Amino acid sequence: MKQALLAAAAALISLCAAPSLAQTPAPVAAFEGPITGPGPMFPGLRPLDPGTAPQDYGYLTEEYFVSGTANGQPYTTRILVRRPDNARRFSGIVTTESMHSNGFAVTFEPSRHSLLVRGHVHVEIAAQQGNVNGTLKGFNAERYARLSIPSGQQTSQIIGQVGALLRANLNDGPLGPLKLRHLIMMGTSQSSGVLRTYQTQQHFQARLAGGGPIMEGYLAVSTLGNAPMMVVDVPTIQMPTMTEVNTAAAAVGGIQFRRPDSDAPGNRFRIYESAGMPHANARDSIAYEPNFCALPVSDFPWGPTVAMGLAHLVAWVDHGRVPPHAPYLQFDNNTANDGSRLELDEHGNVKGGVRNTYVDVPAAQYGVPNTALEPSGAFLCSIAGTRIPYAEESLLSLYKNQADYVSRVTTRLLELVAEGWVLPESAADVLTDALKTDIPSRPRAPAPRR
């Protein structure tokens, strides 16, 4: 009954939203650049492992200043355009996201391998007041002296105007010689909140000249709050993590953010809750080194999982390829098992959700939340998740030896790739993790006496 009511409400929202389409084209941001100085450019990415930066994939990163009027006040801010130097490598897909409040592109950064090998462009928009006043001017006050976002209420309009600029496909525009086919907006945690606010304030209000949407798809990861995402007329994939499921399960009325999957033209929607995945990408973050949490921090492959969701969204937007459905993560509200409200299998990992080798061929228990040794680390530990390695006797009961474990991981991996839950470009990393996992060998039985 509840699911039927949610579906009816979604349809009603979709119908009610349609008449609000703007009658005049959305404003297009003015631009200048590429900007070359003075001084260094804020890169928008944290230090990366050697060989994994965009330039190592044959990409250029160029900075442009964009300006216009938003919410009745002028603004000037910056965008970063990460694009293949060889135009023939361009997929036609441009992904964009608002710079997170921490100053980085937290969706692109961990998922970049897939985006770069697939030839997508990434555009990072410094759309928030704190991005300019705190991050950029704090890094290089001289280079970014002219930037100004005077109001916190300008963010959504800035994003829409930059999107309209990208969709204009200007010959001398920020995309250079590349011609965009589709524009997709991403967001994670705080920047997923920016995405959801943009949907509310601009998706139906700011349209292209023909009435079409500026953003042609949305990927919202580690989404905040317990409210369902807005129904829009373009494909949307929402990826709540175990952290959001565990948190919402405790709320009065339980988990409210779950909207039914839909293939309706005005309500194309999927929700992917991945087993083992915590809110934060602790695997790639130096913020957790050394570990200040009470339990070992999760090394779950956060970025490749997000890339999987994006790949399904791109195929939906670009080719109309309908993505698969996935079950919800299961919860029982029993905090006696591991401190969470999630329902666990016989090996201590959550049941349901999008599956992966880390929980299906386990060598550890992946859980949420973690806790901090000191109060100052409480928030970061609560979103990091945990990885508790199995004791030797447990591993001996599951696997004969390292080769047996790797063989089982490989078999399950091939199934997951075929089902679309692991991308081919992520498979090598899964196998590398398996080979690095220490699995003891069962003692050989003594030879029988002759």
73-84/59-70 β-pairing:
antiparallel
Residue 282, φ and ψ in degrees, nearest 5: -70, -25
Per-10-residue mean pLDDT, the chain, length 450: 43 42 79 98 95 98 98 98 97 98 97 98 98 98 98 97 97 95 98 98 95 97 95 98 96 94 97 98 90 96 98 98 98 89 96 98 97 95 96 97 98 98 98 97 75
Distance, in Å, from the CA atom of 363 to the CA atom of 299, rounded to the nearest integer, reads: 12
Q: Which pLDDT belongs to residue 447?
A: 67
CA 362 to chain centre: 24
Q: Which pLDDT belongs to residue 258?
A: 97
Q: Which pLDDT belongs to residue 206?
A: 95
182-188/121-125 β-pairing:
unpaired
CATH annotation of 2-360:
3.40.50.1820
Residue 169, φ and ψ in degrees, nearest 5: 50, 50
- The alpha carbon torsion through 306, 310, 312, 316 (nearest 10 deg) reads 160
- The alpha carbon torsion through 303, 103, 314, 228 (nearest 10 deg) reads 90
Domain residue ranges of the chain, discontinuous segments joined by +: 2-360
302 contacts 108 by C-beta, under 8 angstroms: no
pTM of the model: 0.93
Tell me which DSSP letter residue 372 carries. Answer: B
- Stretch (H or E) spanning 243: helix 242-249
Residue 391, φ and ψ in degrees, nearest 5: -65, 160
Angle at 272 between CA 266 and CA 278, to 5 degrees: 140
